[in-house]
Amino acid sequence: MQINDKSGVKEYKANEQRYNSMTYKRTGKSGVLLPAISIGLWHNFGFVDSLQNGREILRAAFDAGITHFDLANNYGPPYGSAEDNFGTIFKNDFKQYRDELFIATKAGFDMWPGPYGNLGSRKYLIASLDQSLKRMGLDYVDIFYHHRPDPDTPLEETMGALADIVRQGKALYVGISNYQPEETQKAASILKQLNVPFILHQARYSMFDRWVENGLLDTLEDNGVGCIAFSPLAQGMLTDKYLNGIPEGSRAAKSLSYLNSETVESNIKKVQALNKIAEQRGQKLSQMAIAWILRKPQVASVLLGASSANQLKENLKALDNLQFSEEELQTIESIVGV
């Protein structure tokens, strides 16, 4: 929602009804409630993108009750630019709402040259978060994640760095991402001994990508940790975009590393069959795919990207129908072939 100030410049004023329609879910055994759908800034928020479009997406998100904004140090491109742009938007639109927001960032992937700009050392994690806070114009983040396991750095060092980040007041909670079940259990045990609030594991999860069901969700439940799922639409496959082939200019047409034409073509019949179920439910395929993940009790939130405010609003309609019959679930399993 926008209002005009005395100079005629459009200012942002949040929708006063923003909390009326969003569903909120508890994150593990913590005191934190997250919106069932959160907004990710992985794509569409870098210096190569439109700042105004990013602003419209975040405004639409918050107006709909989305309080959780998810970033990482290397989101862009170029690296750091999503946090920079978010900082600009935050200063102009959201600073007055800081205490209503749950802001995340991460470190773990390649960020700057040399031996200290990657993976899981104490040196990297603390330096990276200091940079992130500066870019975003924040005193602290609500949660800071280690973005991926580091096979060479002792887990005690990585988790100890997360613990000290909390004690320094730079983050309220910590999380991990892309850890396997055994690694997750070890991290949880260390953080529990350090008395650090470990509340979220961010993991890739969709109808087509089920690795979290191989013990991770059970491990999270045993430790009182929530799961936040990213890539719920399988990088766009679980939408109506590819129902009739691969459109020119789409991700698959560009053969990006995380989605290529071969992957889409090998799954197109499954996508078409799933779309028929969605139509019977009165949903778009993307909306059904989101609802399917949210049925899992361990899942605190589904993390969505958006290329426009309208696309985000369409996906939010997933919350209108979160119930599945046993027949629907069995049919989905038979189509996906898991």
Token pair for 80: 């750091």
pLDDT at position 287 over 90:
yes
pLDDT at position 220 over 50:
yes
The Cα–Cα gap between 188 and 198 comes to: 7
Q: Helices 309-316 and 51-63: crossing angle, nearest 10°? A: 30
Confidence of residue 258 (pLDDT cuts 50, 70, 90): low
The Cα–Cα gap between 228 and 219 comes to: 14
What's the pLDDT score for residue 161? Answer: 98
What's the pLDDT score for residue 41? Answer: 98
Question: Residue 248: what are its φ and ψ, rounded to 5°?
Answer: -65, 135
pLDDT at position 262 over 90:
no
| pLDDT tens-place string over residues 151-174 | 999 999 999 999 999 999 999 999
What's the pLDDT score for residue 7? Answer: 40
What's the pLDDT score for residue 257? Answer: 57
pLDDT at position 185 over 50:
yes
Name the more confident of 64 and 247: 64
Q: Which of 171, 108, 125 is nearest to 144 (CA)?
A: 171
Q: 64 and 93 in contact (C-beta within 8 Å)?
A: no
Cβ atoms within 10 A of the Cβ of 215, count? 14
| pLDDT tens-place string over residues 34-56 | 999 999 999 999 999 999 999 99
Determine which helix (DSSP H) or strand (DSSP E) holds 264, and give its type and residue range: helix 261-281
The Cα–Cα gap between 10 and 251 comes to: 34
Cβ atoms within 10 A of the Cβ of 8, count? 6
CATH architecture of 2-336: Alpha-Beta Barrel (3.20)
pLDDT at position 277 over 50:
yes
Confidence of residue 181 (pLDDT cuts 50, 70, 90): very high
The Cα–Cα gap between 315 and 312 comes to: 5
How many Cα atoms occupy the beta-carbon half-sphere of 73 within 13 Å? Answer: 26
The Cα–Cα gap between 182 and 293 comes to: 23
Side chain identity at residue 27, one-letter code? T
Q: What is the DSSP string of 231-260?
A: -TTGGGTTSGGGTTS--TTSTTTTTBTTB-
The Cα–Cα gap between 101 and 88 comes to: 16
Question: Residue 157: what are its φ and ψ, rounded to 5°?
Answer: -70, -45
Q: Helices 122-136 and 155-167: crossing angle, nearest 10°? A: 40
H helices of 41-169, in order, are 51-63, 81-89, 122-136, 155-167
* Percent with pLDDT over 70 in the chain: 93
Q: 150 and 121 in contact (C-beta within 8 Å)?
A: yes
Confidence of residue 5 (pLDDT cuts 50, 70, 90): very low
User: Phi/psi zone of residue 114: left (φ > 0), alpha (ψ -120 to 50 degrees), beta?
Assistant: left
pLDDT at position 137 over 80:
yes
Cβ atoms within 10 A of the Cβ of 220, count? 24
Q: How large is the average pLDDT for residues 248-260?
A: 64
pLDDT at position 3 over 50:
no
Token pair for 75: 């989101």
Question: Residue 90: what are its φ and ψ, rounded to 5°?
Answer: -60, -45
The Cα–Cα gap between 163 and 82 comes to: 26
What's the pLDDT score for residue 128? Answer: 98
